[in-house]
């Protein structure tokens, strides 16, 4: 509080009016009056608020089109007509499209994965694709040592750590479900066998969707699921398929990279139906292969390289499905006339339901 003395000037004018005819006289008297007024002083206060500034996200490395050096690591051979050949075809496509310098390694063993990554990165390859879930840990470890190199793992563990590492994911539950529709409609024995290479999410999840699709159209069907623990042993896959056929299975669905043909060979010899996967595998058993679930890994690799060249690449999980034509059904080929029209119509109807969003397969490729 503050007391302020205010001197107020009062001017008193005294007007004497004579009752006579004399001139009026004006007398001015100044009076000083002291008055106390209480005024509240406004107090200004400065408040300092500390705000945490969000950390700026580090940018992923950029590679100019003329500087592309791309390496590809594969878990099997490039001529398997499926998983590995698809990726190799993608590498060939980007080589042609961007005049890239490319290299690849086939059938890389788990024990050699880290060394293979390190070798390519040290030799100046600025983009390294690794084709398979099992490459994830080695990729993440080596990527931290080479921050200027881009690492991309197809089917990799989601959310890998690093500003220079990404994964490619496929909505394979969609194609697994549709292949299950086909198998459920075509089986006569109500026994269907799905045989995988290793029990890992990228195969276990489409297998679950396959079973769901089969039961959607045939509640009586039994779907057996087994594993051979190999990506390359064709004889072992054939043995597992023959064992399933011996129990009455009349649709065989092998998914084991380079070992998959063994299942289709067994189906052809036994005269039962087969279903291919990853690539269009009817070539292994043309007269009994109903269709194949294509996972166009080559196209997905090309799409990610486009992102890198365009400067829009991010360290994230890239998802591709039916809507991108990366995941799709292969033609029926030689079995076109052996599949009833109502079966083909049912598969087409469910395909459209998924594409339109009317139906969402309740099994997700999340791992």
**How many of the other CB atoms lie within 10 Å of CB of 245?**
22
- Position 80 scores a pLDDT of 84
pLDDT confidence of 364, banded at 50, 70, 90? confident
- Residue given tokens 């990554």 in the structure block: 117
pLDDT value at position 367? 57
Using pLDDT thresholds of 50, 70 and 90, give the confidence band for residue 81: confident
The CATH code for residues 65-170+298-323 is 3.40.50.2300
pLDDT value of position 140? 98
All structural domains of the chain with their residue ranges: 65-170+298-323, 172-295+332-356
Q: What is the pLDDT at residue 270?
A: 99
- 174-197 tens-digit pLDDT: 999 999 999 999 999 999 999 999
Per-residue pLDDT averaged across 207-220, rounded? 98
Reply yes or no on whether the pLDDT at 52 is more than 60: no
pLDDT confidence of residue 66: 74
**What pLDDT score was predicted for residue 59?**
67
**Per-residue confidence (pLDDT) for residue 58, from 0 to 100:** 58
pLDDT in tens, 133-173: 999 999 999 999 999 999 999 999 988 999 999 999 999 99
**Which pLDDT does position 21 carry in this prediction?**
37
| Closest by CA position to 321, among listed 299, 289, 288 | 299
- The pLDDT value recorded for residue 328 is 97
Q: Candidates 3.40.50.2300, 3.90.1300.10, 3.10.450.40, 3.90.1150.10; correct CATH number of 172-295+332-356?
A: 3.40.50.2300
Residue scoring higher pLDDT (59 or 175): 175
Tokens of 275: 């279903």
Looking at per-residue confidence, does 356 or 25 come out higher? 356
Which of 12-16, 89-93, 266-270, 308-312 shows the lowest mean pLDDT across its residues?
A: 12-16
| Contact status, residue 240 vs residue 226, Cβ threshold 8 Å | yes
Is residue 126 within 8 A of residue 104, CB to CB? The reply is no
Q: Contact, 274 vs 237, CB < 8 A?
A: no
Q: How many CB atoms lie within 10 A of CB 286?
A: 13
- What the block records as the tokens of 249 is 């299975």
Q: Which tens digit of pLDDT belongs to each residue from 308-354? A: 999 999 999 999 999 999 999 999 999 999 999 999 999 999 999 99
The whole model's pTM is what?
0.78
CB atoms within 10 A of CB 256: 31
Helices assigned H by DSSP within the chain: 83-98, 113-122, 136-143, 172-186, 201-217, 234-246, 261-270, 297-310, 341-356
CB 121 within 8 A of CB 128: yes
Q: Closest by alpha carbon to 264, among 231, 227, 292, 228?
A: 292
* Residue of 266 and 16 predicted with greater confidence: 266
Say whether 172-295+332-356 and 65-170+298-323 share the same fold: yes
The predicted pLDDT at position 186 comes to 99
CB-based burial label for 101 (10 Å; 0-12, 13-18, 19+): middle
- The pLDDT score that the predictor gives to residue 359 is 98
Say whether pLDDT at 14 is over 70. no
Q: What percent of the chain has pLDDT over 90?
A: 77
């Amino acid at each position: 509080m503050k007391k302020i003395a205010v001197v107020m000037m009062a001017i008193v004018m005294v007007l004497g009016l004579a009752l006579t005819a004399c001139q009026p006289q004006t007398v001015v008297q100044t009076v000083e009056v002291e008055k106390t007024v209480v005024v509240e002083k406004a107090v200004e206060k400065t408040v300092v608020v500390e705000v945490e500034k969000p950390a700026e996200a580090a940018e992923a490395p950029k590679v100019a089109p003329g500087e592309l050096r791309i390496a590809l690591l594969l878990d099997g051979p490039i001529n398997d007509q499926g998983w590995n050949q698809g990726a190799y075809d993608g590498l060939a496509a980007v080589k042609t499209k961007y005049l890239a310098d490319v290299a690849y390694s086939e059938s890389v063993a788990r024990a050699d994965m880290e060394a293979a990554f390190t070798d390519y990165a040290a030799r100046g390859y600025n983009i390294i694709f690794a084709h398979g879930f099992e490459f994830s840990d080695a990729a993440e470890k080596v990527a931290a040592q080479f921050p200027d190199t881009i690492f991309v793992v197809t089917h990799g563990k989601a959310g890998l750590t690093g500003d220079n590492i990404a994964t490619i994911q496929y909505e394979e539950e969609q194609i697994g479900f549709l292949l299950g529709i086909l198998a459920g409609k075509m089986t006569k024995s109500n026994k269907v066998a799905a045989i995988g290479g290793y029990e890992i999410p990228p195969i276990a999840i489409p297998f679950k969707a396959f079973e769901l699709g089969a039961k959607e159209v045939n509640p009586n069907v039994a779907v057996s699921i087994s594993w051979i623990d190999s990506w390359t042993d064709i004889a072992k896959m054939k043995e597992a398929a023959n064992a399933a056929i011996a129990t009455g299975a009349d649709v065989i669905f092998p998914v084991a990279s380079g070992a998959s043909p063994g299942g289709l060979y067994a189906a052809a010899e036994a005269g039962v139906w087969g279903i291919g996967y990853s690539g269009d595998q009817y070539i292994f058993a043309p007269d009994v292969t109903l269709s194949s679930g294509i996972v166009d890994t080559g196209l997905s690799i090309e799409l990610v390289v486009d992102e890198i060249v365009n400067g829009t690449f991010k360290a994230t999980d890239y998802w591709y499905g039916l809507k991108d034509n990366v995941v799709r059904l292969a033609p029926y080929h030689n079995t076109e006339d052996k599949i009833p029209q109502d079966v083909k119509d049912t598969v087409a109807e469910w395909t459209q339901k998924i594409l339109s969003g009317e139906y969402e397969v309740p099994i997700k490729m999340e791992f």
